Structure 1
């Protein structure tokens, strides 16, 4: 494992941001930390920005299991993944130096497309139609047929992802300490001819979700993995399971997940 005091900063390179972050770099180095330019050499990966930057940092660095992630927001940003901002960065370093930090673990889902390529998601996977037509998806739970969905699409969210796209569709907000994932509908058709459950449902960590795309013109749906769209052609099926991987983040004391939910939404 890399030196435990090696920090990699993930952020969009901009001249004004570089100058803003320089005092943070100096502060980190003054506290015995080293700033590295290759994330593979880091034991701590820090994103600068909101939740989108944090998700990108985790994805671009390969969902690493041997390091800690942390998020720093700027003054005009907020984030459920980010415990820190520019003003309390010194408190974060002090916590690490004195080994008083608490570690939070966020669950990750594994997404397999067409029984082949696998991807990881910290937030959610969404599958939607690319044409002005409902997408039709057969939904299976543990290889058992459950329902045929017709509508704009489906979202499969992790507990931490439940506060994002999933919440906007009236899905439940789930405690990240519960190992599970949630399935929510996007504008489903429910009438005398077509019927779906019509509400979100939650699957236990041992469950396997199968989504079979009916090939009726929606053969090229849009798949969103966290905050990235993937142009995967000829999608026939998607399998979602809860991964053994977890994302470990540095946590401020007295700043639980529900504290941040309250600040963000209430």
Structure 2
């Protein structure tokens, strides 16, 4: 099969976990890594470890996760929406995976792809916006490299902007379908509301969004002056990089390669 027609063996989805239990079996570094990943969600963590390392115990104390300090039993998985087998012991991880499947709970076994029903992504978190990068377990280092690149591209204020957008969804539905509505959202995410949110001025962002709603005119553009220093690409600031990625037109002199 050509690369252009290659098909995914794992289909990416976002699973609702708000208030749901997620069980992690293990007391070491692998369990801590999964706990930190899932801890970015609103799931209720249940960590099953008769003996847990100090760093994991600190995480449990800081987050309020439930710690089942007992030898693993299948009953510990009941009611969970997802299960992670992260004990580092192959026999125990296999037992956990088998118990989870018997209980019809999707399971991930760390570093054991043959036991996994799903794979965990490298996550760029701008809640409520999330970008998940997966390699079907084939290249975790590649996924982390891509995560780093995407993380640098996205403004830290993206989550706040998305939250503000959600509060305007109802009002925007009253705009005419088609061009008018699309123009509002384009100007919202690339215009004055977005710039105000990035500057930390949420009240001004709200007022700018209201102005967009009541105005028939397209939002005016703006010019950003980006200093390139000696012209080396890797000396640009993160904000300068984002501005260049978002620009419709870039004007530069001959000193910039």
TM-score higher than 0.5? no
Q: Specify which structure has the higher proportion of strand.
A: 1
Higher helix share: 2
Structure 2 length normalisation: TM-score? 0.23
